[in-house]
Amino acid sequence: MDSFTYVNIFETKGLEYLLLLCFWGLFVYLLKYLSTPDKKRKDSKR
Amino acid sequence: MNNNVAINASFGNLFRFFIQELKPRGPWLTPFNIISIPVILVGLGILVYRFIHGLGSVTNLSQETPWGLWMGFDVVTGVALAGGAYVITFVVYVVGLDKYHGIVRATVLNGLLAYCFYGGALLIDLGRPWNAPNPYIGNSFGFSSVLFLICWHFLLYMVCEFVEFSPVIAEWLHLEKAKRFLKKLTLATVVLGITLSILHQSGLGALFLMAKPKIHPLWWSEFIPILFFVSSIYAGLSMIIFEGTVSHKVFSHLIPEKHHHHFDDIVFGLAKGAAITMFVYYFFKALLFIHDKQWDLIADGWGLWYLLEVIGFVLVPALMFAFGFKHRSLRIIKIAAVMALIGIILNRLNVSVIAFNWYSVAHYVPTWQEIVVTFMVIFSELWVFRWFVTRLPVFDSGH
């Protein structure tokens, strides 16, 4: 019989939770990364 | 009697002033004119033919594929690209970041013209264009249709953008009192405009909710409205970067020197906003992909096309925006803006045209006439935009 199993990561939406955890982790890192630009400027002339 | 003479004289002066302003300025034989004038003339000819002989005479549209390039590019894509106006007015007037004030006028003008031309292009795609005013005049409002919301929002938003832009017109006509009065209306119209924008940007996505059986599952989702709204934010920001860069080259003689230097800082700020928004959008897409268990769908050509759109034109430009901001590289940011715009065009065309009826044997391919008319709409908008910026104080910050 096909039944629901709590150890199947696809059935329990485990992947969605993992992805959301990754998102928040990376999002905080991105905000920190973008909080201060490098002082050295590569190309400012147009 | 004296009053009548004075009024007639002032109307006469105003009329002469408008006639003077309508006359072309600058050289005629420019690369842009050489390309755009023939395209506009041929496009107008095609439109005359279309209105005499019907849609089928110049398009590959059919009962199975009623929406083609005109709807997919002009309306669905064009409105997303015009999203910069509501984003930048929110940032300036609601959040209070005055740094971006210098680009408000040009962005609002761009948004207003985009809605006039791309929304107006809807009329050429309607089989019975004379029915277009029905949702407004009450001859069958159609409350239950998403199009009812979109029709009213387009109209009201165009009015809002016109009011937001009207102080520039008053300044051009030297009507100081009117300008002061119109400026007082700005905040209220900005708030109303942002509300309308959020709803109709997502409303355009909601149009496709009912087409679930027709759209490829990789592009259909019950969250299309949210995806359309979020992507319109970075589409608008990328469009401002692209349009601003081109304007600063083409109209450099009209832009005050201090604005030239200031624009670089503005671009960095916009890039930061675009990076964050695209990152959020990318994870929305990834979450939907996993939630809908679409692993099996990426093995074929459609899957690769989807990955190209989502990774190549969302994730990669998002990282480029972030890298360009961090390392102060305008070149990387400008390339990222172009890639993000290509990504938006791909996404909107995929949802509305390319992945629509994806299972069909005879797939829709636009005719050359549809392509010419699409370019005609774009060039016409650019002509009007050029007319405004060369006559009105569009590049002044208004302070």
- Best of B223, B277, B279, B320 to disrupt the A interface (most A CBs within 10 Å) is B279
Our CA-based measurement puts residue A34 at a distance from the nearest CA of chain B, in whole angstroms, of 6
Give the amino acid at B288. Answer: L
Our CA-based measurement puts residue A25 at a distance from the nearest CA of chain B, in whole angstroms, of 12
pLDDT grade, residue A39 (50/70/90)? low
| Two structure tokens written together for B129 | 């264009």
Report the percentage of chain B scoring pLDDT > 70.
Answer: 97
In the predicted structure, residue A46 carries a pLDDT above the cut 60: no
Q: ipTM score here?
A: 0.76
CA torsion sign for B288, B292, B293, B296 is negative
Q: Is A33 on the interface with B (CB under 8 A)?
A: yes
- Give the closest of B276, B290, B328 to A41, CB-based: B328
pLDDT grade, residue A12 (50/70/90)? low
What gap in Å lies between CA A1 and CA A11, rounded to an integer?
16
CB contact under 8 A, A37 and B325: yes
In the predicted structure, residue B23 carries a pLDDT above the cut 80: no
pLDDT grade, residue B259 (50/70/90)? confident
Please state the separation of Cα B344 from the chain's center in Å.
11
Angle of the B368-391 helix axis to the B104-114 helix axis, nearest 10? 150
SS3 B241: helix
Our CA-based measurement puts residue A41 at a distance from the nearest CA of chain B, in whole angstroms, of 5
Interchain CB contacts (distance < 8 Å): A and B: 57
Alpha-carbon torsion, ordered B151, B156, B161, B167, to 10 deg: 150
CB contact under 8 A, B280 and A27: yes
Find chain A residues with C-beta within 8 A of B260's C-beta. 46
- Give the closest of B249, B264, B328 to A38, CB-based: B328
In the predicted structure, residue A40 carries a pLDDT above the cut 80: no
Our CA-based measurement puts residue A10 at a distance from the nearest CA of chain B, in whole angstroms, of 8
Q: For residue B215, what is the DSSP state?
A: B
Give the pLDDT confidence score for residue A41 in this predicted structure.
55
Alpha-carbon torsion, ordered B310, B314, B319, B321, to 10 deg: 170
CB contact under 8 A, B260 and A37: no
Q: Is B276 on the interface with A (CB under 8 A)?
A: yes
Our CA-based measurement puts residue B288 at a distance from the nearest CA of chain A, in whole angstroms, of 9
B58-91 pLDDT per residue, tens: 999 988 888 899 999 988 999 999 999 999 999 9
pLDDT (average), residues B300-308: 95
B28-52 pLDDT per residue, tens: 788 899 999 999 999 999 999 999 9
Q: For residue B62, what is the DSSP state?
A: -
What global pTM score does this model have?
Answer: 0.89
Give the pLDDT confidence score for residue B348 in this predicted structure.
96
CA angle B130, B201, B309 (to 5 degrees): 110
pLDDT (average), residues B237-250: 93
In the predicted structure, residue B167 carries a pLDDT above the cut 50: yes
CB contact under 8 A, B286 and A19: yes
B104-136 pLDDT per residue, tens: 999 999 999 999 998 888 888 888 888 888 888
pLDDT mean across residues, chain B: 90
Find chain B residues with C-beta within 8 A of A15's C-beta. 290
